[in-house]
A and B are shown apart, each in its own frame.
Chain A
Amino acid sequence: MSEEASKEKRKIKSAKKMRDLMTTYYLDALSASQNNKKVAWITSGGPVEPLVAMDIIPVYPENHGAMIGSAKMGEDLCAKAEDMGYSADLCSYARSDISCAVVKGGPIGGLPKPDMLICCNNICGTVLKWYEIQARYFNVPLFIFDTPMCHTGYSRPVADYVRAQVDEYIRFLEKVTGKPFDHDRMAQVGKLSMEGQRLWQKVLNTTRHKPSPMSAFDAFFFLALIVTLRGTQVAVDFYKELIQEMEDRISEGISIVPEEKYRLLWDNLPVWYQLKWLSNTFSAHQACLVADTYTSAWCGAIQYIDPDRFLDSMAEGYTRIYLNIGVDQMAEQVIQMVDVYDVDGFVMHSNRSCKPYSFGQMDIMNIVRERTGIPVLMIEADMVDPRNFSQSQVETRIDAFMEIVKQGRDKH
């Protein structure tokens, strides 16, 4: 088979459909006001299901940030925010969103104007100030869903505290929309959300097969639906098709990386503006990034959620997500993934932007290394701002790391 033909065969066909779905989603959001629909901006780990149940279109500044990063428009927008007086140390999603709202830049000319903002701090503290700034700028109401850090367990007082906010949240939505909350609809949406998350987990699990039918780089792309359309039939249907395609690839022996020999695990957000280069660099070593801690965060709390008592259990599910637990528990999850996906090495992205994700990585690195014995690589970068990335440095580190991974495998 020619190289072209083999490349064509490896392409994941569902990607086109996914792009179309995302385009439709953004068009709907951008034309919301003409259709008498309300738009809510919400954080990526926020409880979106009540919005869907109220027919409010959720829009995710972080997903928009990822699009800005992939379109390589992050540098300009981040610099623009710095011109406005924001610190270069601020998360690059926040910087690019704040400046984009003003200059209407980026790949889609800015997000639709919000009617309300929903901020859940289960991912970080940055979002609190970021959403306050946007609430002032757009002059719209802001709801803060406060999820205390759960280093180990989930205590009764925390449970009561978070659960009480679910009711406040619903009252907030009723007030802003002027419509009563529909609990039956909510129950349906809850079930769809759970089903979507289960299917997403199943998509990710297809990479347990050797060779893997897809990689973390594909997961970074296909993730957008479970983030933006969680709780809808669209997401459920799409992931069913995607699983089917993966199963077909497995039975036909189509792998994403030609001649996959080494399997790696990725930690932290993707480096959006370098996905292609990173993917090619690892591929050249016959290495496939089969899993990551990031995309699995959108199905990591399934165990806490009961679809029949969705609103009650969602409080716990949204509080105990990957970034809101202790370092020991994070390391435990990583070690489990090392085992489940049978990886030969662990690549950690120390992300200048994302403090909660990057703080504690050193400890996780030591724990994982000690318990599993696999080599670990740490590279410094930033998910959106390319000024914090040095290609030649990262390349040397990856090459050296792969030399160690290969040695390790040869020994066994």
Chain B
Amino acid sequence: MICAGIDIGSITAKAALVRDQELVDTLVIKTGYDHVKAGERVFEQLLKKTGVGREKVCAVVATGYGRASVGFADKAMTEILCHGTGAHFIDPAIRGIVDVGGQDSKAIRLDDTGQVTDFAMNDKCAAGTGRFLEVMANALDVELAQMGEVGLQSQNPSKISSICTVFAESEVISMIARQQKREDIIAGIHDSAAARVAILARKTKLADPVMMTGGVAKNTGMRKALEKHLGFELTTGRLAQENGAIGAAVLASRLSVGS
């Protein structure tokens, strides 16, 4: 039995296929302007990539900010549940998740069966989200994907005091003007964003072992900064960004067994 999960985020759309409790494959594309089309596209492309016929897919669960716009999905579920399920599927020992996505970050606590027992999300503010890092990468003229590596070279991280993304950006610009080292500024940015995310983790009382998911998990500098704030190491995998879609696919297979 093959089931699919579609995760429409603010920046990227992800799809995952699961066959009999085994992950088949995943795909990530840019969401673009049209959420409806993004869902169609990512699903079609993944089917093509894996050679699975659309009629073979028994159930589809959609998640993410655009979850309501995936017309072909059997059910929409929240990212919280999907990330929890995805992390438990990949590593059943996991008891907590920090997910840093494009426009929000969250902390999720799991029990030993993989059920969500508590969660917290950032408030109406982009500090500590992927968008914050993106704005900063722009201001510093580095590729978002490179930020992590560059930041790790810092010996003397700068201190960003503003929480607000807009104010932090002007702070960064004045640091550039004062010719502070790029790696130091980036390390400071990671530290500032990590401090925000750590608050969510503490709110939900996350304890080791915790997985970091979402696109930002690929940023090693940000991950290290977060580990420093939390006082323990975070696990993360190759599929951190696709975790929500994987969870959605797993939930879809439960749906289809249930019916």
Query: A residues near B, CB below 8 A?
Result: 362, 369, 375, 378, 380, 388, 390, 392-393, 396-397, 399-400, 403-404, 407
Contact = CB atoms under 8 A, between A and B. Distances in A.
B80 interface: yes
Interface stretch (B20-28, B111-119, B130-138, B154-162): B111-119
A400 B80 contact: yes
A400 B65 contact: no
Contact of B118 (A375, A397, A399): A375
Interface residues of B, number: 17
A388 B124 contact: yes
Nearest to B203: A362
30 contacts: A362-B203, A369-B118, A375-B117, A375-B118, A380-B123, A380-B124, A388-B124, A390-B124, A392-B65, A393-B104, A393-B121, A393-B124, A396-B65, A396-B78, A396-B121, A399-B77, A399-B78, A400-B78, A400-B80, A400-B81, A400-B116, A400-B119, A403-B80, A403-B81, A403-B116, A404-B116, A404-B117, A404-B118, A407-B115, A407-B116
Nearest to A403: B81
Nearest to A390: B124
Contacts of B118: 369, 375, 404
Q: Count chain B CB atoms within 10 A of each CB in A393, A400, A404 and give the residue with the most.
A: A400
A375 B77 CA distance: 18
Contacts of A404: 116-119
Interface in B60-91: 65, 77-81
A78 B80 CA distance: 35
Given A375-B117, A396-B65, A396-B121, 10 more contacts: A362-B203, A378-B120, A388-B124, A393-B104, A396-B80, A400-B78, A400-B79, A403-B80, A404-B119, A407-B115
A403 B77 contact: yes
Nearest to A377: B119
A397 B121 contact: yes
Q: In terms of DSSP, what is the predominant structure of the interface of chain B? A: mixed
Interface in B93-122: 104, 115-121
- A-B pairs with lowest CB-CB distance, top 3: A400-B80, A400-B78, A399-B78
A34 to B, nearest CB: 47
Contacts of A396: 65, 78-80, 121
Nearest to B77: A403
A15 to B, nearest CB: 32
Contacts of A397: 121
Contacts of B119: 400, 404
A388 B119 CA distance: 21
A403 B117 CA distance: 10
B58 to A, nearest CB: 22
Interface string B152-173: 0000000000000000000000
Contacts of A393: 104, 121, 124
Contacts of B80: 396, 400, 403
Contacts of A380: 123-124
A88 to B, nearest CB: 14
Contacts of B123: 380
A26 B84 CA distance: 53
A403 B78 contact: yes
Nearest to A378: B120
A265 to B, nearest CB: 17
Contacts of A390: 124
Q: Count chain B CB atoms within 10 A of each CB in A380, A388, A403 and give the residue with the most.
A: A403
A409 to B, nearest CB: 12
A404 B78 CA distance: 11
Contacts of A362: 203
Contacts of B65: 392, 396
A183 to B, nearest CB: 52
A329 B65 CA distance: 39
Contacts of A399: 77-78
A378 B200 CA distance: 12
B78 to A, nearest CB: 4
Contacts of B77: 399, 403
Interface in B17-70: 65
Contacts of B117: 375, 404
B77 to A, nearest CB: 7
Q: Count chain A CB atoms within 10 A of each CB in B78, B79, B118 and give the residue with the most.
A: B78
Nearest to B117: A404
A403 B63 CA distance: 13
Contacts of A375: 117-118
A403 B84 CA distance: 12
A410 to B, nearest CB: 10
Contacts of B120: 378
A309 B93 CA distance: 64
Nearest to A380: B123
A42 B118 CA distance: 41
A403 B118 CA distance: 11
A396 B66 CA distance: 11
A134 to B, nearest CB: 31
Contacts of B81: 400, 403
Interface string B180-221: 000000000000000000000001000000000000000000
Q: Count chain A CB atoms within 10 A of each CB in B116, B124, B203 and give the residue with the most.
A: B124
Nearest to B118: A375
Contacts of A400: 78-81, 116, 119
A396 B67 CA distance: 10
A393 B77 CA distance: 14
A378 B119 CA distance: 10
B212 to A, nearest CB: 19
A392 B8 CA distance: 14
